[in-house]
Amino acid sequence: MTADRSLRAVAAERGLHVGAMIGPEPLRTEPRHRRTLAEEFSAVTPGSALKMGPLRPSRDTYDFADADAIVDFGLEHDMYVRGHALVWHRQLPEWFQPWDYTDDQLREFLRDHVHTVAGRYYGRIDAWDVVNEAVADDGSLRETVWYDALGADYVADAFRWASEVSDADLYYNDYGIEALTEKADAVYDLLADLLDRGVPVDGVGLQLHALGERPDPESIRENVARFRDLGLDVQITEMDVAFARDDVPDDPLAVQADYYREVTAVCLEAGCDALVVAGVSDANSWLRYFADFPERYTGDPLLFDERYRPKPAYDAVVEALAED
Ligand code: XIL
């Protein structure tokens, strides 16, 4: 029986890191959060603390306190630490205005950022999301501040810069690429090309925000397999499962649990080495505060309820891990 064994213990036997993406606040203020994270999870990702905005309160300063608190907690509890994210087009600092810089200056600025942040965590972070969400839904490269100034090769450059200062595995991370979608095809082509050119990419992160839609597990299996055939590691990096408020099934917790079970089984069979969910408890979910998400989606997408009690989804993941 598995009831007396933690998620973390069961996952360890299958060689899978099971993680949570977290913010600094509940870690500081909520003992149940600390306890559940340490006992039940073997991996941790700072949700926002390592993004450029939170890290850089002013032009000339960095504030690593929140990121350090999370990374140090992970190291103290023998966890696998995912860094997220070095290059992204969102959560940039408020003071950062691209028109204050020439294109060459923006390139230097981004290189310095990657060197400073990835370098500072040398030896302490196991995997970095080096580039996050660079591909648009139609498969083209997204027109971001970085694309506009540095050109398409900023993706390759970011991986090279990270590899100059970091011993972590280097990941490309995105949403909508979990199953065999057009966007996943585009990311596949992008990563295949980078590998061909000798760019140091080690893995691909599939966010898996199952909000209203749940990507087909069989399709996920095939997609994970093809990335693995390229020589990449594959991780699920931000999983949560919620329903559109106008389309909630009769037994949402059971449907949610079934989906977590299927994804865990597929992830194991296809050879993912980490399954990270987007928070410890439902109380911490971004669906409860981000943009119009509270109106659009049910707000209980995770494995523990707001009082940190394990949900059916928790049991389902443990069962999937315990099966041979
Ligand atoms: C989210 C965080 O969870 C929120 O706290 C923040 O306000 C917005 O970003 N894709 C990602 C994550 O890669 O970094 C995002 O996280 C969710 C979408």
DSSP string, 108-131: HHHHHHHHHHHHHTTTT-SEEEEE
CB crowding 128-151: b at 16 or more within 10 Å, else e:
bbbbbbbbeeeeebeebbbbebbe
Q: What is the mean pLDDT of each run of 10 residues along the chain (324 residues)?
A: 79 98 97 98 98 97 98 98 98 97 98 98 98 97 98 98 98 98 98 98 99 98 98 98 98 98 98 98 98 98 98 98 83
Which among 230, 258, 205 has a CA at the least distance from the CA of 86? 205
> Which residue out of 40, 178, 238, 262 is catalytically annotated?
238
pLDDT of residue 1: 41
> Which residue out of 133, 143, 218, 295 is catalytically annotated?
133
With a 6 A CB cut-off, is 205 part of the ligand 1 pocket? no
pLDDT of residue 2: 43
pLDDT of residue 113: 98
pLDDT of residue 324: 64
30 a catalytic residue: no
With a 6 A CB cut-off, is 235 part of the ligand 1 pocket? no
202 C-alpha vs ligand 1 centroid, how far in Å? Answer: 22
40 a catalytic residue: no
129 C-alpha vs ligand 1 centroid, how far in Å? Answer: 13
pLDDT of residue 315: 98
pLDDT of residue 323: 77
* Contact call for residues 197 and 151 (beta carbons, < 8 A): no
- Calpha distance 65→231 (Å, rounded): 35
48 C-alpha vs ligand 1 centroid, how far in Å? Answer: 7
Which residue has the least CA distance to atom 4 on ligand 1?
286
Tell me phi and psi for residue 310, to 5 degrees.
Answer: -65, 140
